[in-house]
Structure 1
Amino acid sequence: MSSTLPPEAALLAAVPAAEPAVAAYRSRHDRAARVGVPAHLTVAYPFKPTAMLTEEDLAALRRIFSAQAPIRLIFAATGRFDDTSLFLEPTDGVPVLDLIDAVTDAFPAYPIYGGTHPQVHPHVTVGQGVGPEVMEAAEAAVRAALPIEQLITDIQLWEGPALSTGLGPWRRVRSFRLGIR
């Protein structure tokens, strides 16, 4: 971990089924991939640092995630946030939004993306900060692999040096099973 910045944490829904389609692009154009974070949908980032999580916090997370049945997602389209960001879009992101809302309600000091986006759009990042030629090539290659289907059975807690530093690695700290009471 970086000695100058405290570690960051995130709650993620890993999407390993997307890796064959997106890994080559993510490894070059997604800073999270470069520090070891798998293809994923973000549930909370930045989240409460793991060293600060109490037993009550962990119990709250277990309650939230055990109340949600496993989520079957289908990624049948790509999308763009602007001219430099490419992502996979689930056909139905509502169950992920429900988890985001539940975590935000339970941990209001840690809104997703620091509260910088008034509307959250569930997605799997393929690449950020790329030029139009790279984006178009990546989009064509990824679209050829669609649809991608993933059953989300757990939410993973990850931690590592601040993503803004480019340092790593990040590591999975624990997993919370969905639908397990």
Structure 2
Amino acid sequence: MADDSTSRFQAGQTGLIVRVPDAEPVVRAWRERFDPSARAGVPAHITVLFPFLGESRTDERVHSALADVLGRHHAFDLHFESCGRFPGVLYLVPEPDAELRRLTEVIAEQWPEAPPYGGQFTEIVPHLTVADGQHEAVLDEIEADLRSKLPFTSRVSSVDLLVHDGVKWQEGASFALLE
């Protein structure tokens, strides 16, 4: 039986993310405690599109199309200097976020059967989740700690396809942006 960290994910699910390795020293301890995706093997990241196509559909043709679509976009820097919230969720705000939104839009245009957030939300809000499913007091504590570790900047030079194997998320492919 899957534990709480993996029960929300299913084998064969895929997602597209941008890794934010510069965030790891800032958020790792909090994410390991309060973000189920971290416990399921996902690094500090910003989701570009989740869920994407099922693993059985992400063949070489899809990989080639992703490389083509993403390869038209330039690498860019993100600056993190503040936190934001959704109900029960604390996240770092990436700035500027226009290029992240654009990446999501162009992939969703190419694969309309994979709308952002499964069509659950209409607005694309790029974010780096730190804690999910927590009470406000816990989020307040985390945010106070994070404020002392901000700001930082991180370079985005690729988009990664992750695949859930039933237990953990694994990298399926990485697609470079133009440098």
TM > 0.5: yes
What is the aligned length? 172
Structure 1 runs (4+) deviating above 3 angstroms are none
Selected match of 1:40 from 45, 49, 53: 45
Residue 96 of structure 1 corresponds to which residue in structure 2? Answer: 100
Residue 135 (structure 1) aligns with: 139
Give the corresponding residue for 1:164. none
User: Counterpart of 1:47 in 2: which secondary structure?
Assistant: coil
Structure 2 contact 11–167 (Cα < 8 Å) conserved:
no
Contact kept? 2:20, 2:44, Cα under 8 Å: yes
The residue type paired with residue 43 of structure 2 is: P
- d(CA) in 1 for partners of 2:109 and 2:167? 30
Q: How does 1:9-28 map to 2 (within 5 A)?
A: 9-28=14-33
Query: 5+ unaligned residues in a row in structure 2: which ranges?
Result: 1-5
* 1:138-157 equivalence runs, <5 A: 138-157=142-161
Aligned-residue CA RMSD (Å) = 1.7
- Quote how far apart the aligned CAs of 1:77 are: 0.7
Q: Could you tell me how far apart the structure 2 residues matched to 1:146 and 1:64 are?
A: 33
CA distance in 2: counterparts of 1:135 and 1:49, whole angstroms: 33
Contact 1:154 1:177 in 2 (8 A): yes
Paired-residue identity, % = 33
1:117 pairs with one of 117, 121, 126? 121
AA at the equivalent of 2:111: F
Cα distance in structure 2, aligned partners of 1:80 and 1:43: 18
- Normalization by structure 1: what TM-score? 0.90
Amino acid at match of 2:53: K
Structure 2 counterpart of 1:71, which letter? Answer: F
Q: Could you list the runs of 5+ residues in structure 1 that have no partner in the other structure?
A: 162-166
Deviation (angstroms), 1:81? 1.1
CA drift at 1:56: 2.6
For 2:31 and 2:175, locate their aligned partners in 1 and report how far apart those are by CA, in whole Å.
25
Given the two structures, how large is their TM-score scaled by the length of structure 2?
Answer: 0.91
